Structure 1
Amino acid sequence: MEKTNVSFIEPVGEVSLHSSKWDLSRPLRKIQLMLESFFIKKGYILLLVGFLLGRALILAKLTPFCLPFFASVYLIKRDRAPLALIGLIVGAATISLSNAAFTFIVTILFLVIFRISQKWLTNEMRSLPFFTGIILGVGKLAETFILSRQVTVYDLMMVGVQASLAFILTLIFLQSIPLLTFNKRRQLLKTEEIVCLIIMLASILSGTIGWKVYDLSIEHIMSRYLVLVFSFIAGATVGSTVGVVTGLIFSLASVSSFYHMSLLAFSGVLGGLLKEGKKIGVSIGLFIATLLIGMYGEGGGSILQTVLETSAAVLLFLLTPQAFTSRLAKYIPGTPEYTAEQQKYMRKMRDVTAQRVSQFSGVFHALSKSFSQMEVLPDDDEHDREMDYFMSNVTERTCQTCFKKEQCWAKNFNTTYAFMEEIIHEMDQNDGNVSPRLSRDWEKHCSRSKKVYETIGQELTFFQANLKLKKQVRESRKLVADQLLGVSEVMDNFAKEIQRERENHHKQEEQIMEAIQEFGIHIEQVEIYSLEQGNVDIEMAIPFCNGRGECEKLIAPMLSDILGETVIVNKEECATYPNGFCHVTFRSSKAFTVETGVAHAAKDGGLVSGDSYSTIELGLGKYAIAISDGMGNGERAHYESNETLQLLQKILQSGIEEKTAIKSINSILSLRTTDEIFSTLDLAMIDLKNASAKFLKIGSTPSFIKRGKKVIKIQASNLPIGILQEFEVDVVSEQLKAGDLLIMMSDGVFEGPKHVENYDLWMKRKVQELETDDPQEVADLIMEDVIRSRSGLIDDDMTVTVAKIKHNTPKWASIPVYKKRA
């Protein structure tokens, strides 16, 4: 069902009104572009981030953020590294001038050492964390020694902690800085990138510790705002993660903020769970967490301040534009926006692929049209032109040096031309002979009559060979055109199949899962790909059933009742361990099935038969039965017949139409060898939806349909395959019914009975007298009767295939599901 989105369509009058007075999107968009240009393109966001990270502390004295941030910016956006350095030094100066001096010195030291070492580095990004950790550790060790003239074990431990943090923070900043500096990001975020981004944002916010506005803590407001945004976008899982990470970093920066981690984590969980209530629901979750943790954590004296901080964070959150949250949600896995972005990408790739396939189809169609163009000249003009060329070649070798040339061709042109045209015609029709009357008249007219006869005979040989070659070229051209057209149609159909989207069946999936689970069967997952009548396609994941056959015995019958048609198990992949899941595919059952039986024997009881047979169930709801009889007996005949069926199977499975497939096989076999090795082909295509059948017979014997006591003969006249390069395939159509027996045979069986004048009547009588309808028994009885009629001798390869058409009766009856279905 197609969905039409009309919610974005506004009346014309309203559009003009909005655009003139009330449309605020244009100035807001202009402001957004200006901010993006200033902060992201020009890189001033790195100045702001550097200032906050320069102020950030761990355990009230460690500053591990400065060098990792600068090193990461230097490697990723080298031209913006001075801005980051300025921000870091200014931020460090707000703590102390010595801290700013240390930040500047250790940064310069890093630049010198890293630039010198670049000559020997093969992977700068992989080695950068080691440089930052070692350089910061050595710098801190040197600072401690200069200030106190001694290094204690505690000092060494703190240096090791700071160097380790620098190593880890460098890895985090390398992942997260590109998210801040590139305004157009095409790739979707990975899970580790999201975690790195959260850690970096929390680290940046820790630089606001100590800032207050009207006694309201800025770090509390911004951290709660951060949790609100991520809970609203990605739900409870990401919201609680943001809360825990932010609270942990705050507690490392200031031990007094340890209780804040509980508040942020709890608010992230509640906000994510109330995400369905939009922004109001997420805000209510934060208020509930604030009241509960606030009363428990700090007593009643500061609850009012905590609530005011939460109110400020909620106000910021409510003022956040929807465009910002939607844009951020596109990059976070699990969100509807992320899924929509992935689907958009997949649709784009699908459309591009379908377009390319369609273009190839157009190319093949154009080539087919080019090959199928007929000659420009009409037949009469072409015949006159060929005759003129023929005459000129003959006269050049005979009349050009004759003394009567002037008399014959200047004065009696019409008479001479008519004589020679009649001679050519008679010699062409009578194997080089001319009638006595024409011979007498021509001898009276021409003084070199014998020379003319010899020359015309020689030229006639070349002329006939030339005509045959041109005919073969025309036939080959037509065959190639048909083959190219068949390929074009297959590719065109494939392009249309690519563009068919999987329909949205969420409601039906829930209904099926609920109905089956109420019956007492646990199902892990249901995916519906098609509910089209006769073409149902459903996949399920169910727990390991220990081989009890629940899918075939219970689930398929229940689906048959729910969908109102017979559904069977098409494919089942059982779990390999007890706690795993089985993956099952359910498809519509075909209306008819075909049961086959085969009997075959080689000449003189040999091991290798020149006959080959095949029963192929094609993926298009069709069943093919084919017999091929190679010329002669033995391995060469078997090779030819088997090759014919192998080619037929491959081409039919590709989707090419049957007549084109057989013509292609004929072309391949006729051009492959110069030996006169041919093979017959007897093909029956049965549609399992309605039991209609098409018979294509190439040099093969008749087939018979037994319907009760009635016997129907199926016959077509074509030469064996491989003899002619161009021939028309006769297609005989017949509507089969349930209970019919289709009997196909090679010539060794049909013409096998000895002392029989009319093979048709004999075979019809034998088929009519059959008292069994089992396909294998029928094949064996016919083969036995033919061999008995020859006193046990097998003079030729023999093959009989018998197919019985039956209604497809399901093995298990449908199980009614007593549930109200929408």
Structure 2
Amino acid sequence: MQYGLDVDTYKRIKNHKKVLNLGEEPIRYMSILLIGILISRVIFFLDSKNMSGIAPFGVAYLLAITIKNNEKNTLSAAIGAAIGYISISMTVNDKYGNLIAIIMLVLYSAVIKAMDKYAKEYYMYGVIAISYIINGFMVSGYDLGVNITISLINTLIVLPVYYVIRYGITCIEEFNTNYFFSIEEMISMGVIICLIISGIGELEILGISIRSVFAYTVILLIAYVGGATYGAAIGVAMGIIVGLSSGDIANSITFYSVAGLISGVFKDTGKIFTFLSYLIMYFTLSLYCHDLSMNSLIEVLISGGLLFVTPRILIDAISIEMNVDRKRGMVNETELTEIKEEFTDKVKLLETALLSVSRTLYVIGENDKLMYKNKSAALIENLADRVCPKCARCEKCWERDFNSTYKSFEKLIKSYENKKIIFPSELEKICLYKFELMKNTEIIVDNLNYKEILKARLGDGRQLLANHVENIASSMRDMLADFKERVTVCNEVERLIRRALNKNGIHYKKMFCYRDSSGRLKVKLRMQNCGGGNFCGKRILPIINDVVSEHVCIGGEGCKIDPISNECVVIFEESPKYHMVSYGAMTSKEGEDYTGDTFSFGKTKEGSYMTLISDGMGSGPEAGKESKVTVELVEDFIEAGFDKDTTVNMVNSIMAMKFEEDEKFSTLDLNLVDLYSGWISFIKIGAVASFVKSGKKVRAITSNMPPFGLVDKVEVEEVKQKVKNGDLIITISDGILDVSKESLGSYNWLMEYLEDASKNPKKLASDILDKAKELSGGVAKDDMTVVVSKVYAMY
């Protein structure tokens, strides 16, 4: 098939039932319209005796929508506000003024849309003022002075309401994002909800006020989710707005604010006790105010029922927005997931590139196996060019007797390739340069063989390199999978620590709590530099220890100071149960100035204690370089977070790509002690036995794995054992055991020696080295290295 052709493939058409899908836009327009109807119906009665008031909320709502410069949204809000104002026209002063303002704002929106410009607030203020002036002249018949005064008053009433509604709408648009709302922003959204509920008005079903039912339901829900602070705030706001609309502001504020306050106080007891607490308080207030009626009691009971049936998904969504700690945890989890995905994509690209390199090397290697078909002809031509041009018989041999001469040269070359040079009899009689011809035959055949050997070696090297590049790519894939699955955010722990630090007046910039790939808790804290006063250890560490159930300490790196911001970054982590101390002793082979062994020990970032010895094959500086490189590679990969299998295979691949004439390999004796659990893992790559001494009991740890570089992929054999307080771990190189020809590789003498040996790790390391030299006749027959580690329990 040709690439680049846009051909439609065959698709089977199935009969599906049609499903009505309104989409997001119609739902949004309907919501804007419905909110416009309800908000515009909110009336403020300025005089309880004269039940006629003002309704600036519809105009303010339309103004807040218009400023967003969306023509369809503006039209939906205008229609809704107009319907709302028409429905309350009998109870509002200047009933037509608001409708004229709506028409003028819609016309203004259409004009600036046609002019491809944006709406400006101060222009819209003028439009509203002009609308009220038109109403005063054409409808109310006011005098000029009175008309201007009333128009300005109406416009000034709209402005603060507009700012409140616009602020709330802007906050609602940030809902379900990474934005953190302040209390003021939450209250502004609550005000809009109160206006919507107040707009229901005096609608009743069987004497039950729909407005009261929804008002109590919203207050109880907010109080149950956000607590007493948010509950009391929404209750007061609801009481003021509904009270001014109904003409009974005192009772409204009392009952609604108490509903929010009491329900919020008891929110941790669950929905049932949250509602019962307010129901009891409602009885008390009603009896005190002489306002207890069956209808009002039913309204409260219905509200409680609606609270119980509120979907959990809605409660969680509101809770996330109102609870800063919970939302911060969700954001942290989202950010960590995004970081994981970004890191995963980068590593996958690198893995793909490595696999491409591997495939390319394979292809090149296959091409190198192709032989020249005209190799024989090229050799004969080369030989003839070297000798024949200066011969007087050249023309006769290569023109008149070409076939005979060609076959004679071919026999001569083949005889030398077979290691027995024979000069052809056909040339014996006529060739004037016999010796020179034989000498040049040797030269060109030797050159050819050398090139073929070199080419074959390079081909083998490319194949080997391709194999190990592929192994490295595979190891990276395994490491990536481990990283994605095992690092998690601890939102609840972070919330508790934040609360404790705030309670104790500890100021900090950022906090991040997570469990690493080993499942251990870590708390990363960024705060102002204390100038070396150990503030984190003296003040913060005790607080964190009181909050979390695990023993916590300051991470091994301590405080790190950012030189740019002068801020301190410190990581608190679970305290390990065990502590280890190691001592090493070594000597080089007799007559050598340099040892071929390298050892290292110490704590890793992941909370393990690593001890390793590498023995370079042979002795002296060359062997030392091999072992040093091995140790450094293993340390770097372990510190970078690679697991043991990945580390061993990547080091094996790297060590195999040396292409030296005299191949030299190295061993690895690695043990990792989990300082939290006490489990020790032994990994031996071509290494001799290690020993664990517990009391007088000694156990030998052995393996038959070959050294690095001998196989393409290492199947890691791991031996595990539990250690406890006082145990000794003895790691050695083969020079310690090879004390005589009869005991090569045997470790019986060392096991017997360890049973009654010193328990001091420093003294034991020296004693083992001295004993090995003594058994070797007082001289070191090979490089000797001993590392002794002792386990101590911290708690």
1:326 CA displacement:
3.6
- Residues 125-136 of structure 1 aligned to structure 2 (within 5 Å): none
The one of 73, 89, 93 equivalent to 1:80 is: 73
Instruction: Identify if the C-alpha distance between structure 1 residues 188 and 281 changes in structure 2 by more than 3 Å, giving closer, same or farther.
Output: farther
Amino acid in the other structure paired with 2:166: T
Once the two structures are overlaid, the 10-residue window that deviates more, 191-200 or 442-451, is: 442-451
The one of 682, 686, 708 equivalent to 1:692 is: 682
Amino acid in the other structure paired with 2:296: T
Does residue 45 of structure 1 match 2:31? yes
- Residues 445-460 of structure 1 aligned to structure 2 (within 5 Å): 447=431, 449=434, 450-460=436-446
Instruction: Identify if the C-alpha distance between structure 1 residues 553 and 378 changes in structure 2 by more than 3 Å, giving closer, same or farther.
Output: closer
Instruction: Identify if the C-alpha distance between structure 1 residues 51 and 454 changes in structure 2 by more than 3 Å, giving closer, same or farther.
Output: same
1:70 CA displacement:
1.0
In structure 2, the residue matched to 1:101 is 97
Amino acid in the other structure paired with 1:396: E
Does residue 258 of structure 1 match 2:247? no
- Residues 567-578 of structure 1 aligned to structure 2 (within 5 Å): 571=555
Does residue 464 of structure 1 match 2:450? yes
Provide the C-alpha distance between the structure 1 equivalents of 2:545 and 2:205, rounded to a whole number of angstroms: 70
The one of 717, 724, 731 equivalent to 1:742 is: 731
1:685 CA displacement:
1.2
Aligned partner of residue 333 in structure 1, secondary structure: helix
Instruction: Identify if the C-alpha distance between structure 1 residues 731 and 714 changes in structure 2 by more than 3 Å, giving closer, same or farther.
Output: farther
Provide the C-alpha distance between the structure 1 equivalents of 2:662 and 2:424, rounded to a whole number of angstroms: 47
In structure 1, the residue matched to 2:477 is 491
Pairs aligned (count): 686
The one of 309, 329, 333 equivalent to 2:320 is: 333
**C-alpha offsets along residues 742-775 of structure 1, whole Å, 9 cap, x if unaligned?**
34599xx999xxxx999999xx999999986755
1:423 CA displacement:
0.5
Provide the C-alpha distance between the structure 2 equivalents of 1:296 and 1:734, rounded to a whole number of angstroms: 78
Aligned partner of residue 248 in structure 2, secondary structure: helix
Amino acid in the other structure paired with 1:370: R
- Residues 82-161 of structure 1 aligned to structure 2 (within 5 Å): 82-93=75-86, 94=89, 95-96=91-92, 98-102=94-98, 104-105=100-101, 108=104, 112=108, 149=145
Instruction: Identify if the C-alpha distance between structure 1 residues 154 and 377 changes in structure 2 by more than 3 Å, giving closer, same or farther.
Output: closer
In structure 2, the residue matched to 1:222 is 214
Does residue 421 of structure 1 match 2:406? no
1:405 CA displacement:
6.7
CA contact (8 A) 1:611 1:628 kept: yes
CA contact (8 A) 1:398 1:452 kept: no
Aligned partner of residue 475 in structure 2, secondary structure: helix
Instruction: Identify if the C-alpha distance between structure 1 residues 158 and 651 changes in structure 2 by more than 3 Å, giving closer, same or farther.
Output: same
In structure 2, the residue matched to 1:67 is 59
Instruction: Identify if the C-alpha distance between structure 1 residues 445 and 59 changes in structure 2 by more than 3 Å, giving closer, same or farther.
Output: farther
Does residue 55 of structure 1 match 2:48? no
Aligned partner of residue 255 in structure 2, secondary structure: helix
The one of 597, 601, 605 equivalent to 2:584 is: 597
1:175 CA displacement:
2.8
Amino acid in the other structure paired with 1:163: L
Aligned partner of residue 793 in structure 2, secondary structure: coil
Q: Give TM-score scaled by structure 2 length.
A: 0.62
Once the two structures are overlaid, the 10-residue window that deviates more, 340-349 or 650-659, is: 340-349
Unpaired stretches in structure 1, ≥5 consecutive residues: 1-25, 180-184, 427-433, 511-526, 560-566, 577-581, 788-797, 813-822
Provide the C-alpha distance between the structure 1 equivalents of 2:752 and 2:132, rounded to a whole number of angstroms: 105
Provide the C-alpha distance between the structure 2 equivalents of 1:473 and 1:412, rounded to a whole number of angstroms: 36
1:340 CA displacement:
13
Instruction: Identify if the C-alpha distance between structure 1 residues 96 and 38 changes in structure 2 by more than 3 Å, giving closer, same or farther.
Output: farther
In structure 2, the residue matched to 1:810 is 793
CA contact (8 A) 1:598 1:799 kept: no
- Residues 356-371 of structure 1 aligned to structure 2 (within 5 Å): 363=352, 367=356, 370=359
Once the two structures are overlaid, the 10-residue window that deviates more, 359-368 or 73-82, is: 359-368
Identity of aligned residues (%): 11
In structure 2, the residue matched to 1:395 is 380
Instruction: Identify if the C-alpha distance between structure 1 residues 140 and 446 changes in structure 2 by more than 3 Å, giving closer, same or farther.
Output: farther
The one of 296, 304, 310 equivalent to 1:306 is: 296
Provide the C-alpha distance between the structure 2 equivalents of 1:46 and 1:780, rounded to a whole number of angstroms: 85
CA contact (8 A) 2:488 2:515 kept: yes
Provide the C-alpha distance between the structure 1 equivalents of 2:783 and 2:133, rounded to a whole number of angstroms: 94
Provide the C-alpha distance between the structure 2 equivalents of 1:138 and 1:640, rounded to a whole number of angstroms: 91
Instruction: Identify if the C-alpha distance between structure 1 residues 418 and 547 changes in structure 2 by more than 3 Å, giving closer, same or farther.
Output: farther
1:367 CA displacement:
4.4
Aligned partner of residue 57 in structure 1, secondary structure: coil
CA contact (8 A) 1:53 1:66 kept: yes
CA contact (8 A) 1:51 1:91 kept: yes
Aligned partner of residue 56 in structure 1, secondary structure: coil
Provide the C-alpha distance between the structure 2 equivalents of 1:555 and 1:735, rounded to a whole number of angstroms: 37
Once the two structures are overlaid, the 10-residue window that deviates more, 445-454 or 133-142, is: 133-142
CA contact (8 A) 1:228 1:239 kept: yes
CA contact (8 A) 2:263 2:275 kept: yes
Provide the C-alpha distance between the structure 1 equivalents of 2:313 and 2:296, rounded to a whole number of angstroms: 29
CA contact (8 A) 1:89 1:100 kept: no
CA contact (8 A) 1:694 1:731 kept: no
Amino acid in the other structure paired with 1:811: M
Provide the C-alpha distance between the structure 2 equivalents of 1:158 and 1:79, rounded to a whole number of angstroms: 27
Aligned partner of residue 149 in structure 1, secondary structure: helix
Amino acid in the other structure paired with 2:42: A
Aligned partner of residue 378 in structure 2, secondary structure: helix
Aligned partner of residue 670 in structure 2, secondary structure: strand
Aligned partner of residue 664 in structure 1, secondary structure: helix
Aligned partner of residue 94 in structure 2, secondary structure: helix
Provide the C-alpha distance between the structure 2 equivalents of 1:46 and 1:718, rounded to a whole number of angstroms: 75
**C-alpha offsets along residues 196-227 of structure 1, whole Å, 9 cap, x if unaligned?**
43211211222344555565544323312333
The one of 571, 574, 580 equivalent to 1:586 is: 574
Alignment RMSD (CA, Å): 7.0
1:482 CA displacement:
1.2
Unpaired stretches in structure 2, ≥5 consecutive residues: 1-16, 47-52, 389-393, 497-512, 525-534, 561-569, 674-678, 722-726, 774-781
In structure 2, the residue matched to 1:623 is 610
